Amino acid sequence: MNKAVGNEVVAYRVQGRIARIAIDNPPVNALSQAVRAGLKHAVEAAQADSSVAAIVLICEGRTFFAGADIREFAKPPQDPRLVDVILCIEQCTKPVVAAIHGTALGGGLEVALGCHFRIADAGARLGLPEVKLGLLPGAGGTQRLPRLVGLKAALDMVIEGNPVPARKALEMGLVDELAEGDLGAAAQALAERIADQGLDLRRTSRLPAPPMDEQWFAEVEQHVRKRKRGYEAPLRCIDAVRAALSLPFEEGMATERELFAALKASPQSRALRHAFFAEREAGKLPFSAPARRIERAAVIGAGTMGGGIAMCFANAGIAVQLLEKDEERLRQGLARIQANYDGSARRGRLTREAVAERMALIHGTTLFEDLHEADIVIEAVFEDMAVKHEVFRELDRICKPGAILASNTSYLDIDAIASATQRPQDVVGMHFFSPANVMRLLENVRGPRTSESVCASVMELGRRLGKVAVLVGSCDGFVGNRMLSKRTRESYFLLQEGATPYQVDRVLHGFGFPMGPFAMADLAGLDVGWRNRQGRLASLTPRERDCDILDRMVAVNRLGQKTGGGFYEYDADRKAQPSAQAEAIVAEHCAQSGIRRRDISDQEILERCLYPMINEAAYILEEGVAARASDIDVVWLNGYGFPAYRGGPLCYADQIGLDTVLEGLRKYEAEHGSIYWRPADLLVRLAESGRGFHDMAS
Ligand code: 3H9
C-alpha cells in the first residue's frame, strides 16, 4: 500500500504492473469530495508511475459508487468536480478498468463510463437514477451513454432511471465482461491481458454519436409529457440527450452542465431529494428493541383487503394462513388472489412457476384454532369495534404467547381494540392501503400499551414486505386519514358554496394528484364514505351534519363507478363525464341549506383543500402522533398520491412559506370560524420565527 497516495477513503496499491485504486466510503461509496480528490490523485499517481501498465478501479463494501453524494448538493460545490475527475480518468494514457459490483448508479456509472473497460459482477446493476431525484446525469452520463449503447437504450435509462442487470448491460455493450468468481481477481486479470495485448484505449467520449432521430425524440417527448405529468426533469433529460446527438462532445457537456445546475436548484429536485431522505428516516426508530422472528403469518378476512395483505406475505416468501368465516367466502377470496396473480402472469410480470410458488404459500382455513402457531396475525374484518373485539378475544384465546396481534383498521382506537385481550403489549395497528399488494405505504400504529419490540417487529416486517413503513401514534384516522378528513370536509363545503365537483377535482389534479377527491370517492364507492359519516354523525358540527350531499347521492344509489354513476357518469370503459344528476343533487341541497352560491377561484379551492391538512399535520406533530414532519410527508407521498415533486404536504408548506399558510388560515378562520380553521400553536410559532416544519429538529 502506498500511503503517500490516496486518503482515508481511497487506497492505492501497485501490484506487479497493475495499480489498484480501492474506494471505501461506507455505506454506499457516494462520491463525496474526499472520494473525488483521492480518486483523481490516485489516477494521476498511476499515470506518472512508469512501472504501472494498467489501473483497476474497484470499491470495497456492498457496492460500487451509488452516485454523487446527495447530501453535498445543499452546500456550495467543492473541487475537484466529478466531471473533471472523470475527464482525468478518461484522458489517462494507461488503460483503466472499472470493476463493478452492487449498484453502479448515477455519478458512479458516469465514472465507469469514463473508464476504458468495464467488468461487472453477475449480480451488479447499473443505472442513471438521477431523474428520480428531479435531476439529470450531470457528469457526462447523457453524453457518453448514447455513444456507447445507442440512442434508444440510453434515453430509456436516463428518462426512466431504472437500473439494468449486469447480463443485460453486457448485451447492450455497457459492460465488456462479466466476472467469473472473484471480481477483484477477474479485474486484475483483465487489466493484465489488456496491458499484454496493448489494446487500444476506448474513450467513450470519442465514439461517434448516434444519428439524430427527430421523430423519435418528438414521440418520446409526447409520451413523457403524458406519463410523467408535472415533472420537469424527464423533459430536461431529453434535451440533454438531444444535445449529445446534435453537438460536439464538449458543447454537449456544457449543455448538460447548464441543465443539471438549473434542475439542482429547482424546487422539484429539492422536494424529491427531501422525499428520498424522508423515506430512509422513517425507518429509524427513537428506541432500540429486538424485532421478533416472523416466519408464519395469518390474515383474518379474505376480502379485497385481507387477500391483498396475504399476497404481500406470499410475495415476500412468507407462509400465510387466510381465515374466513365459511368455505364459500374462503373459496371466493382464494379465487380472487389466483385471478390477480394470473393477471400479472398474463402481463408478463410473473412467471407461471412464480404464481404457483406464491399460491402454495397461502393456506386457507375457516378455523381460528389453526392460527395457534402464527407469529403474527393481521385482522382485516369489518370496521366496527364490536366485530374487532370479537376477533381479538378469539386471537387472545388461540394465539401462542409472543404472537403479534395486528389490526388493519384505518381509524379505530388501537388501545380500545387491545382491551379485548389480556396482552395489550402485543397489539398494534398495521394500516395497509388498498390495493394492499400494490400500495407502498404501511402505517404502523402504536397504541399507548404496544411494546417497543412489537413496534420494531412490524417496522422490520414492513421492510421485508417491500413497504415504506412509518410508525405513528394512535388517534382517530391516524396520520393519513385524519388529515384527509379535513380535505374532504372542505371539498364538500366548497360544493355548498358554489364550486362544482369537477372544478375541485381539476384544481387538485392540476396540483399533481392523480385524481381529485370526488373522482376518488367515486372510485372507492360513495357508500364507504357514507358509512364512515354515519358512524360519526354524533361528533359532527351542525354545518357538517347539514352538508348531506353524500347522503343524498347514496339515497338514490349513486355509489360511484360500481353503479355507473356518482359525482360523474361512467361508460362501459369507466370513462368519466360530468353528471347532470349529481349537479342537480348538489343544487337541490344548496337551495335547501340557504347558503348563497358564488364563483370560487381555483386558488381558493387549492388553499381550502391543502391548508387545513397542513394545519392538522401541525396538531399531529404537537400531539406527538407523528415523530417527524418528514414522516407525514412519507405517508402522503406513498399512500395518498401527493405529487412526489412537491415533497409531501409539509415540504410543500415549507416551500411556499409557513407565513403564507398562516395568513391563509387566519383569513379563512375569520370567514368560516375557529372550529375549522384555528391555526395550531406549533404552526404559529414556526411561522412567526421564520422557520419551517423541517427546521424543527434544529
Ligand atoms: C448523481 O449521481 C448526480 C451525478 O449525475 C452528477 C453529479 C455532478 N448520497 O437506500 P439505503 C445513504 S445523483 C448520499 O437505505 P439500500 C442513504 O441516505 C445520485 N447518501 O440502502 C442511507 O443513509 P442512512 C444518483 C446516500 O441498500 C444509506 O446511504 N444516485 C446516497 O437500500 C443507505 O441507503 C442515486 O440516486 C447518495 N447518493 O440501497 C442512488 N445513496 O443510513 C441513491 C444512499 O444515514 N441511492 N445514501 O439512512 C439508492 O438508490 C440506494 O441508497 C442504494 C442502496 C440502491 C444505493
- Each residue of 448-484: pLDDT tens digit? 999 999 999 999 999 999 999 999 999 999 999 999 9
Most ligand 1 atoms within 8 A of CB, residue of 70, 133, 272, 274 to mutate: 70
What's the CA-to-centroid distance between 475 and ligand 1, angstroms? 34
| Ligand 1 pocket, residue 375 CB under 6 Å | no
| Ligand 1 pocket, residue 71 CB under 6 Å | yes
Alpha carbon nearest to ligand 1 atom 24, residue:
280
Contact 474, 448 (CB under 8 A): yes
* pLDDT (0 to 100) of residue 330: 97
Complex confidence, ipTM: 0.99
Query: Distance from first CA to last CA of the chain, Å, rounded?
Result: 42
> Which atom of ligand 1 has the smallest separation from the CA of 284?
48
| DSSP structure string for 505-552 | HHHHHHHT-SS-HHHHHHHH-HHHHHHHHHHHGGGS-HHHHH--HHHH
CATH architecture of 603-695: Orthogonal Bundle (1.10)
Q: Is the pLDDT of residue 35 over 60?
A: yes
> Which atom of ligand 1 has the smallest separation from the CA of 71?
14
Q: Please write down the HEC assignment for all residues of 137-191.
A: CCCCHHHHHHHHHCHHHHHHHHHHCCCEEHHHHHHHCCCCEECCCCHHHHHHHHH
The CATH superfamily holding the domain 2-264 is 2-enoyl-CoA Hydratase; Chain A, domain 1 (3.90.226.10)
pLDDT tier for residue 680 given thresholds of 50, 70 and 90: very high
* pLDDT (0 to 100) of residue 198: 79
* pLDDT (0 to 100) of residue 596: 85
How far, in Å, CA of 56 to CA of 146, rounded? 24
**Is position 588 annotated as part of the catalytic site?**
no
* pLDDT (0 to 100) of residue 698: 42
**Is position 160 annotated as part of the catalytic site?**
no
Which pairing describes strands 362-365 and 319-323: parallel, antiparallel, or unpaired?
parallel
CATH of domain 492-600: 1.10.1040.50
| Ligand 1 pocket, residue 95 CB under 6 Å | no
* pLDDT (0 to 100) of residue 697: 62
| Ligand 1 pocket, residue 163 CB under 6 Å | no
Handedness of CA 179, 180, 185, 190 (dihedral sign): negative
| Ligand 1 pocket, residue 82 CB under 6 Å | yes
Contact 419, 405 (CB under 8 A): no
| Ligand 1 pocket, residue 293 CB under 6 Å | no
The CATH superfamily holding the domain 296-479 is NAD(P)-binding Rossmann-like Domain (3.40.50.720)
* pLDDT (0 to 100) of residue 2: 55
| Ligand 1 pocket, residue 139 CB under 6 Å | yes
- Each residue of 554-597: pLDDT tens digit? 999 999 999 999 999 999 888 999 999 999 999 999 999 888 88
What residue spans define the domains of the chain?
2-264, 296-479, 492-600, 603-695
Same fold yes or no, 296-479 and 603-695: no
What mean pLDDT value characterizes the chain? 96
Q: Is the pLDDT of residue 665 over 90?
A: yes
- Please, what is the angle between helix 629-639 and helix 602-622, to 10°? 130
Average pLDDT over residues 160-172: 98
Residue scoring higher pLDDT (519 or 383): 519
What's the CA-to-centroid distance between 62 and ligand 1, angstroms? 12
What's the CA-to-centroid distance between 28 and ligand 1, angstroms? 6
- Each residue of 489-536: pLDDT tens digit? 999 999 999 999 999 999 999 999 999 999 999 999 999 999 989 988
Contact 656, 267 (CB under 8 A): no
How far, in Å, CA of 552 to CA of 582, rounded? 9
> Which atom of ligand 1 has the smallest separation from the CA of 138?
6
- Residue 526: closest CA among 574, 582, 484: 582
What's the CA-to-centroid distance between 161 and ligand 1, angstroms? 14
Catalytic residue among 110, 160, 607, 616: 110
Catalytic residue among 8, 44, 72, 130: 130
| Ligand 1 pocket, residue 127 CB under 6 Å | no
Q: Is the pLDDT of residue 1 over 70?
A: no
- Residue 282: closest CA among 69, 463, 14, 43: 463
- Each residue of 175-231: pLDDT tens digit? 999 998 999 999 999 999 999 987 788 999 999 999 999 999 999 999 999 999 999
| Ligand 1 pocket, residue 282 CB under 6 Å | no
